[in-house]
Amino acid sequence: MSGVVLDGKKINREILDELRPRISALTAKKRPPALAVVLVGNDPASQIYVRSKVKTSHELGIRGIEITPPETTTTDELVQQIEPLAKDPNVDGILVQMPLPKHIDAERVMSYVDASRDVDGFGVQSLGALVQNRPAPRACTPAGILQMLKRYKLPIAGKHAVVVGRSDIVGKPMALLLLHENATVTICHSRTQNLAEECRRADILVAAIGRAAMLTADFIKPGAVVIDVGMNRLTDKAEVQRLFAGDPARLAAFGKNGTTVVGDVDPKAMKELSSYYTPVPGGVGPLTIAMLMANTVELAERHLAG
Question: Which residue is catalytic, options 92, 97, 118, 271?
Answer: 97
Residue 132 a catalytic site member: no
CATH code for position 73: 3.40.50.10860
Task: Judge residue 155's burial from the number of C-beta atoms within 10 Å of its C-beta, 0-12 exposed, 13-18 middle, 19 or more buried.
Answer: middle
256 is catalytic: no
- Asked if residue 267 is part of any domain, the answer here is yes
210 in a structural domain: yes
3-class SS at 86? helix
Catalytic residue among 92, 118, 120, 228: 120
| CA quadruple 212, 13, 170, 155: dihedral sign | negative
- Which of 271, 267, 239, 266 has its CA nearest to residue 254? 239
Q: Annotated catalytic residue: which of 9, 17, 29, 53?
A: 53
The Cα–Cα gap between 95 and 105 comes to 16
List the domain range (segments joined by +) for residue 39: 31-114
Helix (H) or strand (E) holding 294, with range, is helix 285-303
Residue 1: band (very low, low, confident or very high) from pLDDT cuts 50, 70, 90? low
Tell whether 179 and 77 lie within a shared domain. Answer: no
Tens digit of pLDDT for each residue in 190-222? 899 999 999 999 999 999 999 999 999 999 999
For residues 106 and 144, state if they share a domain: no
Q: What is the pLDDT of residue 43?
A: 83
| Annotation marks residue 97 as catalytic | yes
**How far is it, in rounded angstroms, from Cα 191 to Cα 161?**
18
The 10s digit of each residue's pLDDT in 27-51 is 999 999 999 999 999 888 788 888 8
The radius of gyration computed from the CA coordinates of the chain, to the nearest angstrom, equals: 20
Q: Based on the fold, state whether residues 144 and 274 are members of the same structural domain.
A: yes
DSSP track, 174-231: HHHHHHHTT-EEEEE-TT-SSHHHHHTT-SEEEE-S--TT-B-GGG--TT-EEEE---
145 and 279 fall within a common domain: yes
Residues 105 and 147 in one domain: no
Same domain, 106 and 145: no
Q: Are 23 and 61 in contact (CB under 8 A)?
A: yes
What percent of the chain clears pLDDT 70, i.e. is strictly above it?
99
Task: Give a yes or no: residue 303 inside a domain.
Answer: no
pLDDT for the residue 17: 98
My answer on whether 110 and 144 are in the same domain is no
Confidence class of residue 246 from pLDDT cuts 50, 70 and 90?
confident
How many structural domains comprise the chain?
A: 2
What is the average pLDDT score of the chain? 95
Q: Kindly tell me if the per-residue pLDDT of 228 is higher than 90.
A: yes
User: Is position 1 within any domain?
Assistant: no
Say if 20 falls within a structural domain. Answer: no
What is this structure's pTM? 0.94
Cα–Cα distance for residue pair 76/86, rounded to 1 Å = 15
Q: Is residue 18 part of a domain?
A: no
Are 91 and 194 contained in the same domain? Answer: no
Asked if 171 and 251 sit in the same domain, the reply is yes
CATH code at 169?
3.40.50.720
Are 109 and 145 contained in the same domain?
A: no
How far is residue 4's CA from residue 225's CA, in Å, rounded to a whole number?
A: 9
Decide if 306 is inside a domain: no
SS3 call for 90: coil
pLDDT in tens, 87-128: 999 999 999 998 899 999 999 999 899 889 999 998 889 999
Q: Is residue 12 part of a domain?
A: no
Distance CA 253, CA 140 (A): 29
Confidence band, pLDDT 50/70/90 cuts, at residue 2: confident
Residues 108 and 226 placed together within one structural domain of the fold: no
79 and 165 together in one domain: no
Closest CA to 250 of 267, 265, 227, 275: 267
pLDDT digits (tens, 9 = 90+) for 123-175: 889 999 999 999 999 999 999 999 999 999 999 999 999 999 999 999 999 99
Residue 132, classified by CB atoms within 10 Å of its CB into exposed (0-12), middle (13-18) or buried (19+), is: exposed
